[in-house]
């Protein structure tokens, strides 16, 4: 099969990134004997000193629990999910597989497929040297505006619970602990550590707790993570009613309960309520001094500490028995390549795709000697997931354009054009390489600003997988709690000739130089707060430079972890719990948007059909911020309407984790909801468009005609630390049925 495609002046993202270099020494966490496997937990507790017990109540670092070598108790390593296993570093992410987002999994309505997906994630987790995956997320999609809606299965508690149970079983039957999250009512990002979800007892039970109850009773997750927020005035991490009365007594849950990262807010209240483990470490609350002070004042007793320690040790022992080679391994992270995994990911992504409209049987595209226009910013995007904790370094990415090219019927001609930019942040500098010639940048950390000109004086070198780095969990001990500096370098080959816009967003301050010339200054200016770096970064500051196609440009970004003059006083959301450091460099050609739209219309006019690929991405759907509205970015809606006006066989492919507005729904011939499809998204979409796979997915959420129809429309986001769940039981499709509101596309369609 062959296909032709017109040349494009815009950069195509890479298909893979390298894994970071493995450590040169073995991990300090797993170097004990295996006596722990057969040890009696009560006996171990009796032999632990008071201070050893206190240490076991919190993590050792970002991803490990504390080992007690004296008693051969190993540390346990965790890693983030839910659509892949990232590994132990945000900055140096190990390349891995990305399964479709959880909304896509929900759209399969196939628990057996989710079980297979989780089994694959168990293997990926072990490849990262970990035995616990922070997943699945089963919060209800109360509103499509929720920043992490893409991480959840559905608006329906029964579907969410059944999918979660299969996910948990797939992990745990393969030796990896599920960490069910976020218990409970973590349905928005606005003031997420402070907000109180004011919800009736009946709605709490029947809607928000129900998926957790189903997963606990059907699959017995080894661990559960408490949410950041409060419920009816009390932080879940300190709620004896939710953790002890409901979870442990009513549901007979016997596993471990851990905090979300920095989601512990006290010493005694959390311990008394039943939160076993504070993460991450080292401890912020459960320090030797603070816990000992609570013991001395009789706020807690050592027996109550023993209860919490017992849960942690039983959890660690079960994992050591299930996966001893990993728990007692060397903690080296690897990337596996298996053609069978790729084939399954393609099948899984294809099974999640929902065909919402197919007027005049515009699909499948099977005509030979036809000319098809592929238009839209999503066609060449390497977006595999939303952002935040779900972010991954995908080992490879099949874009929609790649999939359509490779899988095209014989003699089908494809013509591509951008149509319109649709990014919130300028894309990473695709094509940048570090000094070793690998994809990505070098980032060197320095103790003194004068050392920045001398790479040999670096305290640490990090190998970033692209032109950005969140480095909060990679800071050497001798740089913590003090000012430090960094330099990010790389060689970038310009993909076009002409004006190129560069951007710099930081959590700290920085300057960007291109071939030695200052292009963007985000150091001395009054910095403006933005959404990046979990809500703690600046907005992008911009600069323009002229480049020539094929020109090798030297990128240098100088950074300080000390924020600029105003950012510390003007943080958008002071309830974000994690203190971050990082920098992000973006770039994109300066384009004439009107000319791009005209080019798209001209291309569409001369074609037999149009595939318009649009959607969102990690800059729009992410942890730490919510979406402001349901609109597609920039001039996307205008692009669709103008193209549809000149070609009646226009098919729109939407890549998003939740609902988007579709004011053009009646003007196009086809609509395909493709979600975030993971590594194989492009091939899976091509399989559907070319008729090789039946689009059997069904909507796990309701798509509204307008944002005002969403049940939580009048009560979303926090006001003075409170959000009222005023819709009660009428969440999702129940609202539309009760109010007789016609959705654009109903749940299950």
Catalytic residues: 260
- Residue 263's contacts (CB-CB under 8 Å, 6 or more residues apart) are 193, 226, 227, 228, 237, 279, 577
SS3 assignment, position 94:
coil
In Å, how far from its chain's centre is CA 345?
18
Q: What are phi and psi of 553, to 5 degrees?
A: -100, 135
594 CB-near residues (< 8 Å, 6+ apart): none
Q: What is the DSSP string of 427-492?
A: PB-TT-B-TTS-BSEEEEEESSGGGGG-GGG-SEEEEESSSEEE-TT---GGGTTS--EEEEEEEE
d(C-alpha 135, C-alpha 131), whole Å = 12
Q: CB under 8 Å to 141, separation ≥6 — which residues?
A: 103, 149, 152, 154, 155, 187, 658, 701, 732
Report cis status (omega within 30 of 0) of the bond before 130.
no
Q: Find how far residue 65's CA is from the centre of its chain.
A: 23
The DSSP secondary-structure symbol of 152 reads S
Mutual angle of helices 339-352 and 111-127, in 10-degree steps: 140
Report d(CA 73, CA 32) in Å as an integer.
7
- The sign one gets for the Cα dihedral 43, 46, 52, 56 is positive
Here the tokens at position 744 are 């654009």
Contacts of 722 (CB under 8 A, 6+ apart): 195, 196, 198
Backbone φ, ψ for residue 650 (5° rounding):
-100, 125
Burial (0-12, 13-18, 19+ Cβ within 10 Å), 321: middle
Sign of the C-alpha dihedral computed for residues 599, 600, 602 and 606 taken in this order: positive
Task: Please tell me whether residue 689 adopts helix, strand or coil conformation.
Answer: helix
Q: Cα separation of 511 and 529, whole Å? A: 17
Question: Are 496 and 123 contacting, i.e. CB atoms less than 8 angstroms apart?
Answer: no
Count of helices and strands (H, E) across the chain: 19, 26
| Class of residue 104 by CB neighbours under 10 A (exposed 0-12, middle 13-18, buried 19+) | buried
H helix intervals, 679-721: 681-689
* Cα gap 461→451, rounded to integer Å: 14
Contact 82, 676 (CB under 8 A): no
DSSP letter assigned to residue 90: S
Q: How far apart are CA 264 and CA 280, in angstroms?
A: 10
Residue 171 tokens, joined: 């992990």
Rounded distance between C-alpha atoms, residue 49 and residue 72, angstroms: 14
Quote the tokens at residue 570: 């003007």
Task: Give the C-alpha separation, 87 to 104, whole Å.
Answer: 23
| Omega cis (within 30) before 184 | yes
């Amino acid at each position: 099969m062959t296909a032709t495609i017109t040349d494009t002046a815009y950069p195509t993202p890479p298909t893979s990134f390298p894994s970071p270099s493995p450590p040169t020494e073995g991990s300090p966490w797993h170097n004990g004997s295996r006596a722990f496997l057969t040890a009696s937990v009560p006996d171990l507790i009796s032999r632990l000193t008071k201070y050893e017990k206190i240490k076991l109540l919190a993590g050792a670092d970002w991803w490990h629990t504390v080992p007690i070598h004296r008693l051969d108790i190993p540390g346990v390593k965790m890693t983030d999910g839910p659509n892949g296993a990232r590994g132990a570093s945000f900055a140096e992410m190990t390349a891995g597989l990305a399964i479709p987002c959880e909304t896509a999994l929900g759209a399969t309505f196939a628990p057996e497929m989710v079980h297979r997906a989780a089994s694959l994630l168990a293997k990926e987790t072990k490849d990262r040297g970990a035995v616990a995956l922070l997943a699945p997320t089963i919060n209800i999609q109360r509103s499509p505006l929720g920043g992490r809606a893409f991480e959840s299965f559905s608006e329906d508690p029964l579907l969410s619970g059944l999918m979660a149970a299969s996910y948990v079983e797939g992990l745990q039957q393969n030796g990896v602990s599920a960490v069910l999250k976020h218990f409970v009512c973590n349905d928005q990002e606005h003031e997420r550590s402070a907000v109180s979800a004011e919800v009736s007892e009946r709605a709490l039970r029947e809607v928000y707790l129900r998926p957790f109850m189903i997963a606990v009773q059907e699959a017995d997750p080894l661990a559960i993570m408490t949410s950041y927020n409060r419920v009816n005035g009390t932080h879940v991490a300190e709620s004896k009613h939710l953790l002890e009365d409901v979870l442990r007594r009513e549901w007979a849950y016997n596993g471990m309960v851990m905090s979300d990262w920095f989601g512990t807010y006290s010493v005694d209240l959390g311990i008394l309520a039943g939160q076993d483990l504070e993460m991450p470490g080292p401890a912020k609350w459960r320090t030797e001094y603070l816990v000992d002070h609570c013991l001395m004042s009789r706020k807690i007793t050592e027996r109550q500490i023993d209860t919490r320690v017992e849960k942690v040790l039983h959890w660690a022992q079960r994992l050591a028995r299930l996966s001893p080679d990993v728990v007692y391994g060397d903690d080296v992270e690897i990337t596996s390549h298996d053609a069978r995994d790729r084939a399954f990911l393609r099948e899984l992504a294809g099974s999640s795709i929902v065909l919402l409209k197919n007027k005049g049987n515009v699909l499948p595209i099977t005509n030979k000697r036809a000319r098809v226009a592929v238009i839209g910013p999503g066609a060449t995007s390497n977006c595999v997931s939303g952002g935040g904790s779900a972010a991954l370094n995908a080992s490879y990415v099949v874009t929609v354009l790649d999939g359509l090219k490779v899988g095209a019927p014989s003699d089908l001609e494809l013509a591509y054009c951008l149509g319109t930019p649709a990014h919130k942040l300028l894309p990473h500098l695709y094509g940048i390489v570090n000094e070793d010639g690998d994809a990505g940048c070098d980032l060197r950390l320095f103790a003194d600003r004068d050392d920045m000109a001398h790479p040999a004086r670096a305290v640490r070198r990090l190998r970033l997988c692209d032109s950005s780095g969140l480095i909060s969990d990679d800071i050497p001990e001798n740089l913590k709690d003090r000012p430090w500096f960094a330099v990010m370098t790389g060689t970038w080959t310009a993909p076009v000739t002409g004006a190129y816009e560069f951007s710099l967003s930081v959590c700290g301050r920085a300057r960007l130089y291109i071939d030695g010339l200052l292009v963007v200054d985000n150091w001395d200016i009054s910095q403006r707060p933005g959404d990046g770096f979990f809500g703690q970064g600046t907005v992008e500051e911009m600069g323009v430079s002229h480049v020539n196609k094929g020109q090798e440009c030297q990128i240098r970004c100088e950074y300080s972890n000390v924020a600029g003059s105003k950012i510390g006083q003007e943080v958008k959301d002071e309830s974000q719990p994690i203190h971050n450091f990082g920098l992000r460099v973006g770039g994109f050609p300066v384009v004439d948007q009107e000319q791009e739209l005209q080019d798209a219309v001209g291309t569409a006019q001369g074609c037999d059909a149009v595939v318009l690929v649009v959607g969102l991405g990690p800059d729009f759907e992410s942890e730490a911020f919510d979406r402001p509205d349901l609109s597609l970015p920039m001039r996307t809606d205008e692009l669709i309407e103008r193209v549809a006006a000149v070609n009646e066989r226009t098919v729109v492919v939407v890549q998003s984790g939740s609902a988007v507005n579709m004011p053009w729904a009646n003007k196009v011939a086809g609509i395909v909801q493709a979600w975030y499809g993971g590594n194989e998204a492009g091939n899976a979409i091509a399989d559907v468009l070319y008729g090789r796979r039946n689009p059997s997915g069904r909507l796990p959420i309701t798509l509204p005609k307008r944002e005002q129809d969403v049940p939580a429309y009048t009560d979303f986001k926090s006001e003075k630390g409170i959000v009222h769940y005023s819709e009660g039981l009428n969440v999702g499709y129940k609202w539309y049925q009760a109010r007789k509101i016609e959705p654009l596309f109903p749940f299950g369609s």
